Structure 1
Amino acid sequence: MSPFRKFSIRISALCAMGLMGVTCAAQAQTAGGVLTAIVQPEPPMLMLGLNQQGPTQYVASKIYQGLLTYDAQLKPLPSLAKAWNISPDNLTYTFELQPGVKWHDGKPFTAADVVFSVDKFLREMHPRARPVINKYLESAKAPSPTTVEFKLKEPFSPFLSAFVVDNMPMVPKHIYEGTDFRTNPANQTPIGTGPFKFKEWKKGSHIVLTKNPDYWKKGQPYLDEIVFRVIPDAASRAVAFEKGDVQVLRGGDVDNVDIKRLKALPGVESTTKGWEMYGPLAFMIFNERKPPFDNVKVRQAVMHAMNRKFIVDNILFGMGKVATGPIASSTMFYDKNVPNFEFNLKKARALIAESGVNVGATPVKLVAFPYGSSWDRLGEYTKQSLEQIGFKVDLVATDAGGWAKRTGDFDFDLTFNFTYQFGDPALGVARHFMSTNIIKGSPFVNNQGYVNKKVDELFTTAAAARQPDLRQKLYSELQQILVQDVALGYLFELEYATLSRGNVKNLVTTGIGLNESFDSVYIQKK
């Protein structure tokens, strides 16, 4: 029996027993209805292969799909690929695609689209997938219209974890081949294979996705439309949910101070599940190309000046935990035994003195992170903290698109970001520190300009290692170096709550939570 056949039988059995974290059959589901959610801040675009900011991921993951999705234990599940096989030497990965899949314009989705997406589009454009593809992918071939074969140059342990939709979204070859990917008109009217098609985007008001009648899963999706409302003010977003104008709140949609009250409303359900793949971790980005942050003692001083427990308790209202380093505590190969930068203004001032840098000579441009009032308060707190140790700080306001451009163009002294771990440091963490990933144009690479050949070597070796013990040893060494160097200013791990009305069903079913396709989401009729 082929490995593909074995896999299909296993999936069928799991569905029959109700043991999967996804919906296997449309038994109790009811079709119809409109789901109303919030997208904030308003994304700069919906082309998921070009932009991976959180709001883009949330909306565009209903339009685009990846080959795989992942359960809460981060084990792969079928999406556009129905089965897969790995060669004994871990160098060849073969995927069998779902039959009868069409792009939203009616053209067939084939293995040629997968090869183009991975080997051309994402290899050039995607800040997370690009370093993995360029480093490890030897070739991508389509032996048949429904079969894709990837050959690696050397083993890469987490390769099977790389096919989540926001990391490797499939894009249509017939639309993008031979064009300038960045300026293709389809970027404004995205075309995918997902359960929902792009219908309308009224800037500053709403984004509407409509049911794909030719979706490859028979009988799905159940919803007629999804409306993502743009509501700039956090208090107004909370009111919209209270009044029932919005049925779903994603983590960050409202201020953390309002979560407890909204959870207590009649008929409201909440969960913190659905973030297992991501393990979001927030940090400061120092521009290490120029003074004052090219000096490690200055960066260390900043860490001592930041009371991160105060931030978690009073700005996040307890919904998070202090980060110890670049790897989240929920992610494989985390090591808590790293240098500790406790809150200590005296030590911070001493380090500034040791550095010999006049940190107040030129005002520092702190580019605000435009993701809600908690981040606004964090910016204000950071300005106050740095000024206590001699800095002059100018807070620079911007929107999501402006922040992405400035950060991607290295046009900042200091800013914030939070990014996802993707279940393995080789996928979610290495991109921020490897010198080969200092590439203009994206806010999710090595934007700080950190260069350390030893770190490059350790990340490369750890990614290829097959023994978990060896990988742990290498990642533990990396965490020691990256924390001591303050390669980024590690702040806190985020905890997010998803709130929804009780009649919204199947909202969080896998380890990627609200970044799922929503093809099984339905509204239970009263």
Structure 2
Amino acid sequence: MKTKRRIVIMITIIMVLSMFQTSTFGSQTQEPDAMRIGVTVEIDSLSPLISYSQIGYEVFMLLYDSLITVDENLEPVANLAKNWALNDDQTEWTFELRDDVQWHDGEPFTSADVVFTYNMLLDSDLGMYSGYLGGIVEVTAPDDHTVIVRTEKPKANMLQNSCPILPEHIWKDVNPDDYMTWPNDEPIGTGGFKFSELKPGEYLKLVANDDYFLGRPGIDELIFVLYANTDTMAQSIKLGEIDAATNFSPSQLDSLQTETDIEAISAVVLGFTELSFNAWDDPSSNANPLLKDIVIRQAIEWSIDKQSILDIVYSGQGSVGTSLIPPEGFYHYEPSADELRDFNIEKANQILEDAGYIDLDGDGIRQDSDGTPLEFTFTLRADNTDEVKAGQMIAGSVAEAGIKLNIETVDDGLLIDKIYSGDFDMFIWGWGTDLDPTTILNVMTTSQIGNMSDSNYSNERYDQLFIEQQTIMDPAERQQVVWEMQQILYEEAPYIILFYDNSLQAVNTAKWTGWKRIPDEGGYFFNLTNYNYLNVQPVSDVTPVESGSNTVLYVVAAVVAVAVVIMFNKKKKAK
């Protein structure tokens, strides 16, 4: 009986200890650390040749790598290229590539991929990255880890070239005639994250690249969650359903800033919101031909109270816009007092009257000499409530100058279709810009009509200056040329730059650590670098487990075991 009793007691103790042991060590097998980021705009394409969206730029930066990138100070640093050299006449760049990089499918990365990518973009002139390559005349590879880029003249923005390098072994089988339609629905890159899944209308999921040459990211899974509106998105981050949110409404900033575990910021970023006119002087344009008159476009700008819209609709989160390049950039041009078109309804009415646009029938709408009314369609994105409110304020103030704007609201996809078909009069949109001005300046060149251009603007002098500015290596001299380009745009007004709006972002600091604003007053995301994506870690990975926790478990186990012994003895005495 004694032996039997000892066996029962020992079995009981072992069972109790094993329960706690399972609990302790089983907790070390965790679910993947998934970061969920709320967005309100869906990626328009997984192909870098087709996408023009801000979220597309962000995702491609995670999936792919460029030869050169920027660090947390936004200074050029090595990436796929580990070093580079420039010859004496500044027309030949030699890049030495890393030899430890592989594509997500395991194929080795070589110089052939760089040559293929650059030549593909140079030949097709497609996508938002083609502007980086202007002035390049030849790209060659003397060996697997060396690339030589020759330019016709010195190229000022070579080290600001963020063009993603694409895998030749996949893209070489795509017919160039199909570039505009090939979906690239399973993208293969070299970046810190691999593509996992895209569920249209719901989310885009990436996973960490275990073999990334710069080190595995601390985020196991990165999920961009699509929201129909910012109200729902803001509520989701409060409830912990997502870990970060970008571009939420100014009305939600104060509320999010009161949350203990959330850091909500108004970040100064390189970008703007514009009112774009269809300035296309072509028979295939479906725009109202009156908008080709610079006077009408200028009068509309004179009629807009940008500061009031910024204060009322955007809670002052940003600054009033003027020229194409934001004021944080070295190349920003600020119109003189004589040039500036600040809010002035009287001035708007005066220049329209002087140009012969008169209200002939007393209905409040001006007409041209043929009796055609100054009446235009104003297209706004239905799911962007702030843009709709801004558009309504613009329509109201412009009416005081005798111009009627008929507002139509559409989804993003339909607006993009309208832009590419030339079937629009005017709309509100926005652009993010780079440190180097070339990409955003390229949008306004004649060559980009039907591609990146969303105003169908053309000016021969502007086109000449665009080519020239890329060849000027001295920043101060180049600045003067870029200023002249912006001066032309401001005078002819294919765009009205409404605001340099801040990016409102929020992150969960209780769950994730290592967040860094880039630059100092900038954002966590959409800041031209993948720094946070690669360096942020789950708090659980950097917080050591208390050593006392296991001691407590063993004490509990001992108490249970003693209780079993006592109960067993009581049962024996009762017998």
The bucket for the TM-score relative to the shorter chain is 0.7 to 0.9
Task: Please give the alpha-carbon distance, in whole angstroms, between the structure 2 residues aligned to 1:37 and 1:392.
Answer: 40
Per-residue deviation, residues 442-464 of structure 1 (Å, max 9, x unmatched): 3x32x323232222233333322
Per-residue deviation, residues 456-491 of structure 1 (Å, max 9, x unmatched): 233333322223332233233333332122131121
Task: Please give the alpha-carbon distance, in whole angstroms, between the structure 2 residues aligned to 1:269 and 1:154.
Answer: 47
- Please identify which structure carries the higher helix content: 2
Partner of 1:462: 469
Task: Please give the alpha-carbon distance, in whole angstroms, between the structure 1 residues aligned to 2:265 and 2:126.
Answer: 31
Change in 2 beyond 3 A, CA 1:261/1:47: same
Change in 2 beyond 3 A, CA 1:260/1:77: farther
Matched, 1:283 2:287: no
Aligned mate of 2:292, from 291, 294, 297: 294
Partner of 1:410: 422
CA contact (8 A) 2:268 2:503 kept: no
Q: Secondary structure at the match of 1:292?
A: helix
Cα shift at 1:508:
4.0
Cα shift at 1:363:
4.2
Cα shift at 1:410:
2.0
Change in 2 beyond 3 A, CA 1:347/1:336: same
Partner of 1:498: 505
Per-residue deviation, residues 421-462 of structure 1 (Å, max 9, x unmatched): 31232x133213322332x1x3x32x3232322222333333
Computing the radius of gyration over CA atoms, which structure comes out larger, 1 or 2? 2
Cα shift at 1:345:
1.4
Partner of 2:205: 208
Task: Please give the alpha-carbon distance, in whole angstroms, between the structure 1 residues aligned to 2:504 and 2:123.
Answer: 34
Cα shift at 1:122:
5.9
Q: Secondary structure at the match of 1:497?
A: strand
Change in 2 beyond 3 A, CA 1:78/1:521: farther
Partner of 2:236: 240
Task: Please give the alpha-carbon distance, in whole angstroms, between the structure 2 residues aligned to 1:466 and 1:59.
Answer: 31
Cα shift at 1:260:
2.3
Per-residue deviation, residues 203-227 of structure 1 (Å, max 9, x unmatched): 2222221222332334x12222112
Per-residue deviation, residues 101-160 of structure 1 (Å, max 9, x unmatched): 222222222111111111114652534432453x40011111221221111111121221
Task: Please give the alpha-carbon distance, in whole angstroms, between the structure 2 residues aligned to 1:212 and 1:411.
Answer: 43
Change in 2 beyond 3 A, CA 1:210/1:172: same
Partner of 1:24: none
Q: Which amino acid aligns with 1:330?
A: E
CA contact (8 A) 2:65 2:165 kept: yes
Q: Which amino acid aligns with 2:439?
A: G
Q: Secondary structure at the match of 2:150?
A: strand
282-291 vs 367-376, greater mean Cα deviation: 367-376
Change in 2 beyond 3 A, CA 1:417/1:398: same
Task: Please give the alpha-carbon distance, in whole angstroms, between the structure 2 residues aligned to 1:87 and 1:249.
Answer: 45
Q: Which amino acid aligns with 1:173?
A: E
Change in 2 beyond 3 A, CA 1:137/1:122: closer
Matched, 1:424 2:420: no
Matched, 1:193 2:190: yes
Q: Which amino acid aligns with 1:231?
A: Y
Matched, 1:524 2:535: no
Change in 2 beyond 3 A, CA 1:345/1:399: same
Q: Which amino acid aligns with 1:307?
A: D
Per-residue deviation, residues 324-375 of structure 1 (Å, max 9, x unmatched): 2122111113232431111111221222223335277374222214663222
Count of equivalent residues: 480
Cα shift at 1:247:
0.9
Task: Please give the alpha-carbon distance, in whole angstroms, between the structure 2 residues aligned to 1:508 and 1:412.
Answer: 41
Change in 2 beyond 3 A, CA 1:494/1:294: same
Matched, 1:96 2:96: yes
Partner of 2:387: 375
Task: Please give the alpha-carbon distance, in whole angstroms, between the structure 1 residues aligned to 2:388 and 2:518.
Answer: 31
Per-residue deviation, residues 160-190 of structure 1 (Å, max 9, x unmatched): 112x2xxx112111111141223335x1222
Task: Please give the alpha-carbon distance, in whole angstroms, between the structure 1 residues aligned to 2:483 and 2:206.
Answer: 44
Q: Which amino acid aligns with 1:108?
A: P
CA contact (8 A) 1:66 1:79 kept: yes
Task: Please give the alpha-carbon distance, in whole angstroms, between the structure 2 residues aligned to 1:423 and 1:274.
Answer: 13
Task: Please give the alpha-carbon distance, in whole angstroms, between the structure 1 residues aligned to 2:385 and 2:290.
Answer: 28
Partner of 1:22: none
Task: Please give the alpha-carbon distance, in whole angstroms, between the structure 1 residues aligned to 2:53 and 2:302.
Answer: 29
Task: Please give the alpha-carbon distance, in whole angstroms, between the structure 2 residues aligned to 1:143 and 1:272.
Answer: 48
How does 1:13-412 map onto structure 2 within 5 Å? 33-71=33-71, 73-121=73-121, 123-133=123-133, 135-162=134-161, 164=162, 168-179=163-174, 180-184=178-182, 187-218=184-215, 220-250=216-246, 252=247, 254-271=248-265, 275=269, 279-289=270-280, 290-338=288-336, 339-357=339-357, 358=367, 361=373, 363-369=375-381, 372-412=384-424
Q: Secondary structure at the match of 1:42?
A: coil
Q: Secondary structure at the match of 1:514?
A: coil
Task: Please give the alpha-carbon distance, in whole angstroms, between the structure 2 residues aligned to 1:327 and 1:44.
Answer: 24
Change in 2 beyond 3 A, CA 1:95/1:299: same
CA contact (8 A) 1:31 1:222 kept: no
Q: Secondary structure at the match of 1:412?
A: coil
Task: Please give the alpha-carbon distance, in whole angstroms, between the structure 1 residues aligned to 2:160 and 2:108.
Answer: 26
Change in 2 beyond 3 A, CA 1:125/1:243: farther
Task: Please give the alpha-carbon distance, in whole angstroms, between the structure 2 residues aligned to 1:280 and 1:328.
Answer: 6
Q: Which amino acid aligns with 1:521?
A: V
Q: Which amino acid aligns with 1:315?
A: V
Change in 2 beyond 3 A, CA 1:195/1:468: closer
Change in 2 beyond 3 A, CA 1:477/1:318: same
Cα shift at 1:73:
4.6
Task: Please give the alpha-carbon distance, in whole angstroms, between the structure 2 residues aligned to 1:83 and 1:371.
Answer: 45
Change in 2 beyond 3 A, CA 1:45/1:122: farther
Q: Which amino acid aligns with 2:417?
A: K
CA contact (8 A) 1:176 1:184 kept: no
Task: Please give the alpha-carbon distance, in whole angstroms, between the structure 2 residues aligned to 1:90 and 1:524.
Answer: 48
Q: Secondary structure at the match of 1:266?
A: coil
Partner of 1:10: none
Q: Percent identity?
A: 24
